[in-house]
């Protein structure tokens, strides 16, 4: 079985802007003539740009109108127009061809097997594109997961850093986190060091420990302000509720 051959034409971007086509379309019924013109070019593809009179119709115009299912009067006018503009050339009354400048670069063909291969390649390209998108999405998800893990690690380190208490004072008994240490310096800008040493020395001499040394310093400071007038210089810790002077 002979392999089927497909033909096509490729219109130039300026096809409808060419002087001949523009003149043709300006005439009454011009759009119909332009359509028949394209149909005739398609009809000539199997014969390399030639159209032959086979005797089915009364004459060339009659046969073309029958094949294209167009009015004979329109085909007759178009054949006369194309001949005058040297866009077709009759070698005899029974055959004509489109001039080379009309069909040059417009006509193409391929066998059915080539068409199938082209369609297969197009499908493969689409599948590959989908695969690339899927792979890209998978890689993106992995990157997002890694970024989330990094952010979580950073948050954990930040929280850990906040909770770690560092030793302060001469004996290293006062324990403060970085956050607490900063708060202490902000609340007691002029004497934070004195408060640390005061609590540190007291704990060293008494063996006493506190859960929250910042809170202890705050409490001592409040009591110090309340009792400083009546107990200035006192050394009785009980009078100050464990706050030495």
243: pLDDT strictly greater than 90: no
Residues 199 and 103 both lie in one domain? no
Q: Is residue 123 part of a domain?
A: no
State which of 68, 93, 109 marks the end of a domain: 109
State which of 64, 82, 109 marks the end of a domain: 109
Q: Is residue 151 part of a domain?
A: no
**What's the confidence (pLDDT) of residue 128?**
76
Q: Is residue 150 part of a domain?
A: no
Q: Is residue 36 part of a domain?
A: yes
Q: Is residue 211 part of a domain?
A: yes
235: pLDDT strictly greater than 50: no
Q: Is residue 171 part of a domain?
A: yes
HSE toward the beta carbon, residue 70, CA cutoff 13 A = 23
Three-state SS for 19-56 is: HHHHHHHHCCCHHHHHHHHHHHHHHCHHHCCEEECCCC
Residue 64 tokens read as: 């073309």
Q: Is residue 85 part of a domain?
A: yes
Q: Which domain holds residue 87?
A: 5-109
133: pLDDT strictly greater than 80: no
Assess contact for 199 and 213: CB atoms under 8 A.
yes
Residues 100 and 171 both lie in one domain? no
CATH number at residue 78: 1.10.10.10
State which of 109, 125, 147 marks the end of a domain: 109
Residues 75 and 169 both lie in one domain? no
Q: Is residue 15 part of a domain?
A: yes
187: pLDDT strictly greater than 70: yes
**What's the confidence (pLDDT) of residue 226?**
81
Three-state SS for 98-142 is: ECHHHHCCCEEEEEHHHHHHHHHHHHHHHHHHHHHHHHHHHHHHH
pTM of the shown model: 0.43
**What's the pLDDT tens digit per position in 37-70?**
999 988 888 888 889 999 999 999 999 999 999 9
Residues 92 and 167 both lie in one domain? no
Structural domain count of the chain: 2
């Amino acid at each position: 079985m002979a392999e089927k051959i497909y033909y096509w034409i490729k219109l130039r971007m300026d096809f409808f802007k060419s002087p001949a086509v523009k003149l043709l379309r300006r005439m009454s019924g011009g759009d119909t003539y332009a359509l028949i013109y394209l149909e005739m070019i398609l009809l000539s593809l199997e014969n390399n740009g030639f159209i032959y009179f086979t005797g089915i119709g009364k004459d060339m115009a009659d046969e073309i109108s029958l094949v294209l299912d167009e009015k004979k009067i329109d085909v007759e006018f178009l054949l006369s127009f194309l001949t005058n503009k040297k866009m077709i050339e009759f070698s005899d009354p029974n055959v004509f061809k489109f001039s080379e400048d009309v069909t040059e670069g417009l006509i193409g063909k391929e066998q059915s097997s080539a068409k199938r291969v082209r369609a297969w390649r197009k499908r493969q390209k689409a599948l590959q594109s989908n695969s690339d998108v899927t792979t890209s999405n998978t890689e993106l998800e992995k990157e997002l997961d890694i970024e989330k893990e990094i952010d979580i690690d950073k948050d954990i380190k930040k929280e850990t850093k906040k909770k770690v208490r560092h030793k302060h004072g001469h004996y290293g008994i006062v324990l403060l986190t970085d956050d607490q240490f900063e708060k202490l310096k902000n609340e007691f800008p002029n004497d934070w060091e004195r408060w640390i040493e005061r609590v540190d020395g007291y704990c060293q001499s008494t063996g006493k420990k506190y859960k929250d040394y910042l809170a202890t310093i705050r409490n001592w400071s409040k009591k110090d302000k309340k009792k400083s007038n009546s107990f200035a210089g006192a050394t009785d810790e009980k009078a100050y509720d464990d706050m030495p002077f």
